[in-house]
Structure 1
């Protein structure tokens, strides 16, 4: 029979406890670096944003066309400069990180719906309905700009 002295017995127990603790411990927590914007993405986003803001200057012309019930001009503005603006907004959205995309994407869709509402008002020759669509479009556009991440 093997005889263990007290020191050997304590060493054996401590070894078993250490093995159990190491074996039962899960994988060590690893810290992941959150995704960030690359310099190229920041440049693209800023370029799209510059074009968006330039085309958004046509909102004033759209408002004036609606007030005069000049539906031809209103349609030209929405399909021209503001249509380009919508395309740039969609392209900008694709360059955002996944976590930053949902709100700008939803607001881009809402702005598209607002323009469709103005188109429908034009078909009905309804200035008040078109003005309501314009107010919604302005609010959605401003919310879009505010929803974009602040990039340096």
Structure 2
């Protein structure tokens, strides 16, 4: 059974998964188009972080950033190679949507890449009601970025 737990940034397995995430982001997108957060940025007071685990094994992670005015942003969604195709990303995404609703957010948005590497992520978000939108928060129009949003 997969459980979603708050925190975990201090754990070695989480650090390794986030390092892998950043490495992949820089390998698939131009540096100026990488918006993934490092460990220090994920510790910001406006960000909440969760991990998905099964019998203690890390399967994935995700974060929620409070943008203010009832708007949240999904950050650092990542599943491990072991977890891909098992519904872990869906479990994490559903948790982030519930957490957004519980916090009184009325809108949830995200940025992801346009490259083929990001196609599974884009399909996941669209399946869960996200639609294309204009850049939000501090983002600018970028041919390497897709912006998606949904009402909560």
Does TM, scored on the shorter chain, surpass 0.5?
no
Structure with the larger strand share: 2
Larger Rg: 1
